[in-house]
Every structure is written in structure tokens, then in C-alpha cells.
Amino acid sequence: MSVSLRIGIIGGGGWLGGAIAGSILDSDLVDPRNLCLSYRSRQPDRFPDSFWTKDNQELADRSDVILLSVRPDDWPFALDASGKLVISVMAGIRLGALSERHKTGRVVRALPNAAAEVGKSYTPWIGANDITRDDRAVVRAIFETCGSEDEVASESDIDYLTGLSGSGPAFPALLAAAMMRDAVARGLPAEVARRAVNTVMSGAGRLLERGNECPDDVVQTFLDYRGTTAAAIEGMRAAGFDAAVAEGLSAAFKKSVSMGAAS
Ligand SMILES: NC(=O)c1ccc[n+]([C@@H]2O[C@H](COP(=O)([O-])OP(=O)(O)OC[C@H]3O[C@@H](n4cnc5c(N)ncnc54)[C@H](OP(=O)(O)O)[C@@H]3O)[C@@H](O)[C@H]2O)c1
């Protein structure tokens, strides 16, 4: 992929926009001078060799690819990106709405996650009919800089994955928080509990990543061992663990669909 590609990130000073900008610069996908970032209230100190502007139309005019990374409520109304490739990472906003508002058929809806900050996002995406083979290559190149990606078959898949992988980094944290609360309630010093739980989480992630195993197989291995782990898994399942996860993912899916309907 050429470093002469000009990329503009609207909301480049935000959590996700900044993480994507950092990844594409670290991997030399673009020359820093070909990266344009927009902000609203205060220009961030990051990426001093790139071009910052408050004017989103100026950003669009200077860029071949425009990445929209603002909250859906802040989605800029008047932005003419005629004929350009527009990639949105906004939860819920549908391809039809993107295409209509920005006057281009070359639109992509993508859903990275917070792990983009450490180059470990999983990003599903889908493009409108008008995107070209080169557009697909650009989308892949951008999201591979911050983790892995998949082109999916339908917008409904994106709505579902908005909860599963878009919100995903929150779920191990939720489990970790519950484990830590239990440990502290049982009298462990908070510092020890935190180190134990955080190390379990990062170690488990590394193990899954190394083997790329099916999680069900990993759980079954522990169940077959018939030790303390099996007792814990059975206790958690009996208390409704699987049902709680399914309920949460369903709530996220409904929220993503309703955000799209409101746009
Ligand atoms: N964070 C995630 O893990 C995650 C995961 C998947 C998808 N997303 C999606 O990514 C998008 C961004 O999320 P985020 O977490 O990065 O939010 P964020 O940290 O609040 O960043 C949004 C940024 O956009 C800026 N902004 C708002 N209106 C603007 C405008 N008109 N022009 C230029 N910049 C503007 C904000 O500036 P101010 O600070 O000045 O208001 C802020 O820096 C959202 O649509 C979200 O659905 C996020």
C-alpha cells in the first residue's frame, strides 16, 4: 500500500480515532504529512507532523480516504465527500445514511474496538456496492495496522458484532472486576487481587491467541480435568453465566439497530 495515500480522520483526537491514527503512522501506511486529523474543542498534542484542522470540509478536500470517528450524535451534517471513500467507525450508522449525507457511494461501515490502542482490535466491516477492489485493499490495510479484520456479509452482522467485538474488550474487564470484588471480599489485599486477576486475564488472552483454539474446546479441557476449575465453571453456569452473556449481547444488538434507525 502506498504511503502517498492521503487519509483524513474526523475526530482524530478521540479515543478510537487517535488509536487508529497511531497505528497507521507506526506501520508507515501513510506519511505523517499525508495524514489530516480534525478536532472540535482543543487541538491535541499528538501527531505533531500531521495536519490538524477544525474544519472538516478542509479535511475532506485534502484527503483521498475520510475516516469518520466521532460519536453518532456529533456526526457532521454538511460534509461533501463526493466520489471519495468514506469509512465510518460510528456504531449504528448505516451505509445508506452515510452515502446520502456525504454524497458518495463509496462508503464502508467498520467496527473496531478499544484494543486498537495496542494493535489488537478485531474489525468487521462491510462496504456499499460502489466500493472498488482498491477500496477494499485500503480498508484492509488500515484495519490490519491496528489488529485483524474481516469483511462480513450483511449490515446485520455489523449490528451484532458491535456488541460482541466492538464492546468486547469491556467483557473480560467485567469478569475481572467481579473476580477482584470476590477476592477482596474474602480478605485478599486489593493489590494482590488486582495483580492476580490482571495476570490471569492477559495470560488467558495470550493462550487463546497462541493456539487459536475454539473457546468451547478450552472450556471442555478444563471440565475434563475434573478439578477446581471444573467446579468453578459448573457453579458459574448453574448461576446463569451463559444466559447473562447472551442477554448482554442481545441488548447491545438492539441498541445498535436502534441507533441506526434514529440516524
Ligand atoms: N471507543 C471504542 O472502543 C469504540 C469502539 C467501536 C466504535 N466506536 C465508535 O467510534 C466513534 C468514536 O468513539 P470514541 O470512543 O473515539 O469517542 P471520543 O473519545 O469521544 O472521540 C470523539 C472525538 O470526536 C471529536 N469531535 C466531535 N465532534 C467533532 C467534529 N464535528 N469535528 C471534529 N471532531 C469532533 C471529539 O472532540 P471533543 O473532545 O472536542 O468533543 C472527540 O475528540 C463513535 O462513533 C463510536 O461509536 C468506538
Decide if 82 is inside a domain.
Answer: yes
Q: Is 91 in the pocket of ligand 1 (CB under 6 A)?
A: yes
Residue 215 lies in a domain: yes
Across the range 4-27, mean pLDDT stands at: 96
User: 179 and 234: one domain?
Assistant: yes
Give the ranges where 128-169 is alpha helix by DSSP (H): 133-144, 155-161
- Give which of 33, 73, 74 is closest to 56, Cα–Cα: 74
Are 149 and 178 members of one domain?
Answer: no
Q: Is the pLDDT of residue 2 over 70?
A: no
Q: Does residue 194 share a domain with residue 121?
A: no
Residues 208-261 have pLDDT tens digits of 888 888 999 999 999 999 899 999 999 999 999 999 999 999 999 999 899 877
Nearest CA to ligand 1 atom 5: 113
Whose C-alpha lies nearest to ligand 1, atom 37?
40
Q: What is the pLDDT of residues 123-137, one digit of tens each?
A: 999 999 999 999 999
In this structure, the answer to whether residues 158 and 220 fall within a common structural domain is no
Long-range contacts of 215-221 (CB under 8 A, 24+ apart): none
Q: Which of 162, 187, 215 is the last residue of a domain?
A: 162
Residue bearing the CA closest to ligand 1, atom 9: 90
Q: What is the pLDDT of residues 134-145, one digit of tens each?
A: 999 999 999 999
In a shared domain, residues 142 and 184: no
Look at residue 38 and tell me whether its pLDDT is greater than 70.
Answer: yes
pLDDT digits (tens, 9 = 90+) for 78-117: 899 998 999 999 999 999 999 999 999 999 999 999 999 9
3-state secondary structure at position 161? helix
CATH code where residue 232 lies: 1.10.3730.10
Same domain, 141 and 180: no
Q: Whose CA is nearest to atom 3 of ligand 1?
A: 114
Q: Is residue 142 domain-resident? A: yes
The range of the structural domain enclosing residue 29 comes to 7-162
Cell match 491467541: residue? 209
Give the distance (Å) from ligand 1 centre to CA of residue 118.
18
Could you read off the pLDDT of 46-75 as tens digits, one per residue? Answer: 999 999 999 999 999 999 999 999 999 999
What local confidence, expressed as pLDDT, does residue 210 receive?
87
- Model confidence over 177-209: pLDDT tens digits? 999 999 999 999 999 999 999 999 999 998 888
pLDDT at 200: 97
Q: Which of 127, 162, 197 is the last residue of a domain?
A: 162
Question: Is 79 a pocket residue for ligand 1 (Cβ < 6 Å)?
Answer: no
Strand, helix or coil for residue 257: helix
Examine the domain organization and report whether 14 and 94 are in the same domain. yes
Task: Report the C-alpha gap between 233 and 94 in whole angstroms.
Answer: 39
Query: 46 with 132, same domain?
Result: yes
CATH assignment of the domain containing 118: 3.40.50.720
Point out the domain boundary residue: 140, 162, 184: 162
201 in the same domain as 91 = no
* Alpha-carbon gap, residue 196 to 208, rounded angstroms: 18
pLDDT of amino acid 229? 96
Distance CA 112, CA 154 (A): 16
| Residue 1 covered by a domain | no
pLDDT of residue 259: 84
**Cα(239)–Cα(246) distance, rounded to whole angstroms?**
14
- pLDDT tens-digit profile of 153-174? 999 999 999 999 999 999 999 9
- Minimum CA distance residue for ligand 1 atom 20: 14
Q: Is the pLDDT of residue 1 over 70?
A: no
Q: Would residue 178 count as lying in a domain?
A: yes
Total domains in the chain come to: 2
Q: Report if residue 219 sits inside a domain.
A: yes
Q: Answer whether residue 2 is part of any domain.
A: no
24 and 118 belong to one structural domain: yes
What pLDDT was estimated at residue 209? 86
| Residue 92: per-residue pLDDT | 92
- Same domain for 131 and 179, yes or no, is no
What mean pLDDT is predicted for residues 1-29?
93
Regarding the beta carbon of 39 and ligand 1, being less than 6 Å apart is answered yes
Please give the pLDDT value at position 260: 76
| Torsion angles phi and psi, residue 196, rounded to 5 | -60, -50
Mean pLDDT of the chain: 95
Whether 38 is in the pocket of ligand 1, judged by its Cβ within 6 Å, is yes
Does 70 share its domain with 156?
yes
User: Is 96 part of any domain?
Assistant: yes
